[in-house]
């Protein structure tokens, strides 16, 4: 149990911004100024999610937010644990929690079930990474924090079209005029 006022970690925005010190074992994050962690984003719900420290590990629970909460790109519907390398998404805004997990030594350090290979697998997000086809030299994707600029499109009248027909084009033969009896003779004969 931490001493009152002792830091339990930092909520760090990905892509830059000031980290938020986490000083209580249970915090509400949202757009309302009365929240423990106030984030002034239009698409964040008033009370968006709850962060709780349980046995030395941070956990997150969505509070019925409109735009959702994700952990490593997966939308959550139940309370989920958050390790320091996990990506926390709040309505399209992304964070990590910088802290030193504590708990049973077998869980954090000595268990075969939690060896480095398993931890590395949790970090991978794309199919290319999971297939082992993503190289460390390749630049990493950066999430857009702003919507893309407006895309201008030309109307059909403004566009440039090539109306010329190909050289080998042959127009279809004109249809023969006839009546239903001529048509039926084709099948009878």
Please identify which residue in the block is written with the tokens 């892509």: 15
Contact 22, 9 (CB under 8 A): yes
Query: One digit per residue, pLDDT tens: the chain, 189 residues?
Result: 444 557 899 999 998 889 999 999 999 999 999 999 999 899 999 999 999 999 999 999 999 999 999 999 999 999 999 999 899 999 989 999 999 988 664 454 444 444 444 444 445 555 666 666 655 555 555 555 555 566 666 666 666 666 677 777 777 776 666 666 666 666 665
Contact 101, 86 (CB under 8 A): no
Please tell me whether the overall predicted TM-score, pTM, comes out greater than 0.75 for this model: no
């Amino acid at each position: 149990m931490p001493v009152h006022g002792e830091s339990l970690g930092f909520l760090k925005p990905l892509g830059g911004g000031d980290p938020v010190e986490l000083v209580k074992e249970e915090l509400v994050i949202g757009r309302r100024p009365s929240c423990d962690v106030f984030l002034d984003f239009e698409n964040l719900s008033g009370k968006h999610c709850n962060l709780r420290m349980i046995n030395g590990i941070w956990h997150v629970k969505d509070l019925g937010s409109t735009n959702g909460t994700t952990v490593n790109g997966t939308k959550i519907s139940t309370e989920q644990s958050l390790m320091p390398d996990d990506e926390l998404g709040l309505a399209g805004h992304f964070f990590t929690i910088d802290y030193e997990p504590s708990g049973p030594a077998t869980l954090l350090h000595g268990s075969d079930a939690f060896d480095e290979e398993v931890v590395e697998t949790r970090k991978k997000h794309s199919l290319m990474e999971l297939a082992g086809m993503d190289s460390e030299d390749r630049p990493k994707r950066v999430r857009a924090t702003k919507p893309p600029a407006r895309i201008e499109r030309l109307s059909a009248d403004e566009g440039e079209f090539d109306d010329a027909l190909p050289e080998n084009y042959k127009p279809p033969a004109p249809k023969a005029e006839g009546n239903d009896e001529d048509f039926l003779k084709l099948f009878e004969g």
